[in-house]
Every structure is written in structure tokens, then in C-alpha cells.
Amino acid sequence: MNAKQNHFYFNSALIMIVIIGVVLLMEHFLTPLITLTFLRTILIMIVALGLYFFLSTSLLEHYRQQEQNLKNLVDETLHELNTPIATIEANLKMLKKSHQDEKTLKRLSRISQASANLSQLYKSIEHSIKVEIDTIESELFDLHKLIEESIHKVADIKGSIMIENHIPSIMINADKEGFARSIDNLLSNAIKYNKPQGSVKFYLKGTKLCIQDSGQGIDSKNLFIIFDKSYQENPTTEGFGLGLSIVKTYLDKEHLDIKIDTQKDVGTTIMIELKNIINN
């Protein structure tokens, strides 16, 4: 336990001791004056609550200030991170113009993709901070286009896996960054746990977004814990098992249901009900 936690628990215990002491004193002195137990109890509770709010305000103010300082630091850091990303992109454009040989262009393309991934990581961190302080606003976006962007991100890691997007151009009204992050995680899993020469398909079934893969499937006994943090179907696979937990957290926030249809060694279909966020 660190010093800040010790400080918080010590001050909280001190407040409780003071309040208990005041309650006992009031009970002692008020008993002969107010014979009605109910009335005496109400009076003591009012004084105790008032005392608690008075004492805890100064305690919580200290932590509120720390939280604000941390937020300011993160905002400044993210702003500084955005500058080198923009510099990398600008210089890449200049290098592409001055180099035309295929090998160099391929290397520059890889750098460009890495820069785009870094930019996406920047957006994810910024989004996570906004979620914590509850400043996320819904926006309209094209589902087909968003999925195409997600597919483009995995172009270098999908290998022999074929990815098909059969989603029509429909407008969604939701937290776009959180939705994109969820699709990225689901697509990444569909690739990671797929078979060589396998496939991933995006399609609509009514108002359900379906993501179907031809992978190894999920053991039925694990379906109840699949959204737990650090869960991994295959412990030998690289990663921390946070992908599906992140997806579930976002979907719960948007009040979207998710269902999983899976068969071992055949594949898995993830179905997300979109009726609450489809723009009519």
C-alpha cells in the first residue's frame, strides 16, 4: 500500500472516530433532555451527516485536486505526443516524393503504417481518459466505412486470411472511437485465433452486426468467463487478454447486447445488436 492510500485511510478513520465520538456524546447529553427515542435519533443522524460532509469535503478536495493535476499532465503529454506523429507523417510524404524504387517505397509504407498505428494508440488513450471523466459525445458515422478502416489497419498482420465486408452503408449514432476500438479488438481476435487460409466476414442479420470467422472456436465451458479481464482461450498466444473485456465494457455503456455462436474447430460468430444506435 502506497503513502497516498495510507493517508486516505488514516484520514477516513479519523473522521469516523470523530463522528462516533460526537454521536456518543450527543446520546449521553440528549437522553435526559429528549425522552422520545425516535426524535433523539433523527437529531443525532442530522448532526452526524452534517459533520461527515463538512469533514470529508476537505479530505476529498485534496484528491480531486490530484486527479485534476493528473488529467492536466496527461493532456499535455498527449498533446506533445501528437507533434512528433505529425512530423513523421510530413517527412514521410516528402521522402515518398523523392524515392521511387519499390524497396524503399515498401519500407516507407511500413513506417507510415506504424505511424498510423501510433496515432491510433494516441486516440485510444485520449478516448480512455474522456471515458473516465465522462465527456464522450455520440456522433454519426458510416458503419461500412468504419469497418473498412478497421480492415485496413490489419493489412500487414492478416497474412493469408481473407476479410470480407458485406456491411451496407448505414449511419450509426454512438461513441465512434469506442465503437471503432471494439471492432478493432474483435477483428484482431478473429485473425489471431483463425486458421491458415481462413476467413473473416462482416455482415448484417436484421439489425445485428455479425463478425464470423473460420477459426478454432471457443470451448463452451469458457463462454461464461470470456469477457473477464486477462481471459485468453489460448494462453500461449501473445497478448494480455484485455480485448473482449474492453469490448464488453463499451457495449454495456452503449446498452448494446452481444451474443456468441461458436463451435470448436469450426469457427465463431459474434453478433452485436445495433437497433439502439442505428440512425433512422
89-98 pLDDT per residue, tens: 778 788 877 8
Are residues 279 and 140 in contact, defined by beta-carbon separation less than 8 angstroms? yes
| Range of lowest pLDDT (57-66, 146-155, 184-193, 258-267) | 57-66
Q: How confident is residue 241, by pLDDT bands cut at 50, 70 and 90?
A: very low
pLDDT at 198 > cutoff 80: yes
Better-predicted residue by pLDDT, 184 or 72: 184
Better-predicted residue by pLDDT, 62 or 277: 277
Q: What percent of the chain has pLDDT over 90?
A: 26
Q: How confident is residue 42, by pLDDT bands cut at 50, 70 and 90?
A: confident
Q: How confident is residue 3, by pLDDT bands cut at 50, 70 and 90?
A: low
Q: How confident is residue 7, by pLDDT bands cut at 50, 70 and 90?
A: low
pLDDT at 132 > cutoff 60: yes
| Per-residue pLDDT at 50 | 84
| Per-residue pLDDT at 137 | 77
Tell me the mean pLDDT in the region 7-19.
77
Question: pLDDT (tens digit, 9 = 90+) per residue, 243-274?
Answer: 688 888 889 888 999 999 988 888 999 999 99
CA distances 233 to 184, 211, 219, 277, Å, are 18, 18, 8, 30
- C-alpha cell, 250: 463499451
Report the side by side order of strands in the sheet with 208-213.
162-165, 199-205, 208-213, 267-273, 258-263
- C-alpha cell, 66: 490530484
CA distances 104 to 76, 101, 173, 223, Å, are 35, 6, 41, 46
